[in-house]
Amino acid sequence: MILRDRILAQLRRRLADAELPLRLRFWDGVEFDFARAPSVTITLNKPAVLRQFLLGDIDRLGRSYVEGNIEVDGRLSDILAVGIALAERAGRSSTLSRLPRALAWLGRARKHSRSYDAAAISYHYDVSNEFYQLWLDRSMTYSCAYFRTGDEDIDTAQEQKLDHICAKLRLRDGERLLDIGCGWGGLLVRAARRYGISGVGVTLSERQYAFARERIAAEGLADRLEIRLQDYRDIPGEAAFDKVVSVGMYEHVGRRNLPLYFAAIARLLKPGGVLLNHGITTGNRDGEGQGVRSSFIERYVFPGGELPHISRVLYEMAGGGLEPLDVENLRPHYALTLLHWVRRLESRKARAIELAGPERYRIWRIYMAGCAYAFERGWLSIHQVLAVKPGRAGDAPRPWTRAHLYVPDDPAKLAAPPTWEGV
């Protein structure tokens, strides 16, 4: 085939010095290896995808993968390394240089109306509760876990994360907690069981809402916990809660709405009340608002998602009347969390496809693997920010140190942050 031979020759020239561990398998069974003993095999099921390799267009390659026109086999670390190398060396322009901002979903500001946000949340979270149960931990916590050694299983690491949040909030028996974007209710249940709070959780996902209500009833906590299908802008009241927590939710708010978001939280908190905001941030401050975005992420994963830099978070939080107390960067924790998730998804491939379809399986597999790589590289980050609503005298009770957050660790048991070797 003349076109295949021509494009293959161009790829060989552009990748000559890369020693890329890649095997290309074509729709008619012909194979070509770019190195000895290749660890990654890319199968092209249609001639049309040949040109995408020369363009180095990650979004178009991603779409072809989702649609089944490309199949990829190999270890995650090798697959992603090969994909990056193809984008950088085979592409006509440096796609890699734009990838950090693309992964950060930076693009045009969106209106983020109530109906728009509800539809976006439904698209991502209303896939199937059973689908998420396949690869999340037993508490159904869909956010960055917290590792003390790096050797914990995902169930233990997520329990540690929930307790880490509760410790930062200094939850006490009888306090009233608001969980904005409560997911499947895991944090509220643990806070009620272990720390004696009562609380309210809000979500825009109908499936999460139904699941969380059933869970709370089964736990015998219906008299202390309430789940609402409600937008954060519509939560009524003033000074109604002692503590507020938001985990993995503000990414859906939109940068233009951050002042509104933090002002709503300040309104709902009692004077001296505490907020813990846990969410993804972009690692590229200069990339904010420059119009670069990933159409793959926008189309298939998080429609409407927008990420600020941590500096923007702190600025808007303070502008909303909240005083930041503590900032913790958990970036290595999320890289490892995502690797746990994607391995569990791959190990349950057949059932995942049965529940959500082959396209959804491929989307989540490549999205989580790609995000793990982005967190490992520092293109994405994640921060927990603790803040207080100042009391009437301009002060609020707070601990003198962070000692309440930690127990002494044996240095010999501490592991280095995860790397991609051996993944």
Catalytic residue list: 371
Q: How far is CA 8 from CA 4, 41, 44, 84, 242, in A?
A: 6, 15, 12, 18, 63
Cα separation of the two ends of the chain: 36
Q: Taking the CB of residue 379, how many other CB atoms lie within 10 A of it?
A: 21
Q: What is the 3-state secondary structure (H, E, C) of 284-311?
A: CHHHCCCCCCCHHHHHHHCCCCCCCCHH
